[in-house]
Amino acid sequence: MKLALASVLIGTAAAFSSPSFVKKTSAMHMSTAAPSETYTFAKSEEIFAEAQTLMPGGVSSPVRAFKSVGGNPVVFDRVKGAYAWDVDGNEYIDYVGTWGPAIIGHADDEVLDAVKATMEKGTSFGAPCPLENELAKMVIDAVPSVEMVRFTNSGTEACMGMIRLVRAFTGREKVIKFEGCYHGHADSFLVQAGSGVATLGLPDSPGVPSSATKATLCAEYNNLDSVKAIFEDNKDEIAAIILEPVVGNSGFIKPDKEFLEGLRELANDNGSLLVFDEVMTGFRVSYGGAQEYFGVTPDVTTMGKVIGGGLPVGAYGGRKDIMEMVAPAGPMYQAGTLSGNPLAMTAGIETMKRLKEEGVHEELERKAQKLIDGITAAAEKHGHAISADCAGGMFGWFFVEGPVKTFADATKSDSEKFGKWHRMMLERGVYLAPSMYEAGFMSMAHTDEDIEKTIAIADEVLSQL
């Protein structure tokens, strides 16, 4: 691994110097140590340059391209536990966790062994298999709102099925979503969305016809009055209120419990359904998701990420009377060739077994709190405005005076500072989401030593920003 000494200040977010992992000394010692050496990325640069000639932007999903933080992405070679290694041999403490699924740690041995055993029987059946029943029972047991579940291949696909279902069940077309909440890239959801749309500064997406979004009405997150106003203007026309119960696609934004309770009441009063998109929060903020964490039960829930244990998966579920609208039990059609495939079901089952163990989510939240407390203290020590929070194994911070309650609040964060921060942390061996509009993820595999090392590196970086 080639090393180059870090300059005292990184000139711009686009500066693409070279990182190195800090020597294995104590976190307290590192915080006062000489400047860290930084990694080099020659092989990543070469592979990404070729990728740009083969795939749009060189990636298979937009946020991976590092457009909002400057420089080019590193190219991964392998992952294990809480760590990732790139093609140049650089090692990172990983707080992205393949965007959420790696909650028990990357490439867990028990999960891998189970998947290998299942693979001997075949990778896809295109027919019912008992593993679907097993995972379905685990989901139904865990999630308060779910009495029946349909498996899909991604969170986007789950949300596509969900919106068709709520419209079919209620006989209404209009839905309410919230500014900065992301529910996949289906046409009807790409209205004031977060995630990559916000990251790239695209308010909407070209190619989405106006007819696809005219029935999607946007309210402000954590603002119950904005929702009431939409109901008043669209009496008896709203099929559902759809939201991320904890926003992870505008950065990390926690709801006021009274806001969620108010949405539940508004849905009841207006004959509408309440939908929690728990693709990100499901089984992560607690075993039963955000609905268990906050004690508010929706009618329908979408899921993904964690329940696939690192393999492609999605699901939507809810009350039995609603779910029985789904074909072949009912007339609302939705299908998928690889849905419920045995590999994804196996990985999900093994992951869920681990998450059900006593104290798992309390420990995830303890570690997430320790991380954000340490980084907040370091930022304040060096005179940076910062606002941070966490729930279970999900966390985030903004370089802005808090609190951050809405997407509009999040947009006031210092994006230039975030870009420099991200690059300098990356160069020192900490892999964070390459956008200030994405949450971070803690895993069972992260240790206190990992967190202390991260805080020490953050202290060094923040002293130079």
Which of the residues are catalytic?
A: 182, 277, 305
Cβ-Cβ contacts under 8 Å for 269 (sequence gap 6 or more): none
If 0-12 CB within 10 Å is exposed, 13-18 middle and 19+ buried, where does residue 264 land? middle
Cβ-Cβ contacts under 8 Å for 133 (sequence gap 6 or more): none
C-alpha 373/C-alpha 384 separation (Å) is 14
For Cα atoms 57, 74, 422, give the angle at the middle one, nearest 5 degrees: 100
Contact at 8 Å (CB) between 457 and 22?
Answer: yes
- Extract the tokens encoding 237: 């026309």
The region, left, alpha or beta by phi > 0 then psi within -120 to 50, assigned to residue 98 is left
Report the candidate in 141, 148, 191 with the shortest Cα–Cα distance to residue 332.
Answer: 148
Cα 242 to its chain centre, rounded Å, is 17
- Extract the tokens encoding 228: 């009431």
Report the candidate in 417, 416, 409 with the shortest Cα–Cα distance to residue 389.
Answer: 409
Contact at 8 Å (CB) between 44 and 87?
Answer: yes
Integer-rounded Cα Rg, in Å, for the chain is: 22
- Extract the tokens encoding 314: 């999605």
Identify the H or E element spanning 86: strand 83-86
Contact at 8 Å (CB) between 253 and 246?
Answer: yes
Judged by DSSP in three states, 34 sits in coil
C-alpha 39/C-alpha 6 separation (Å) is 9
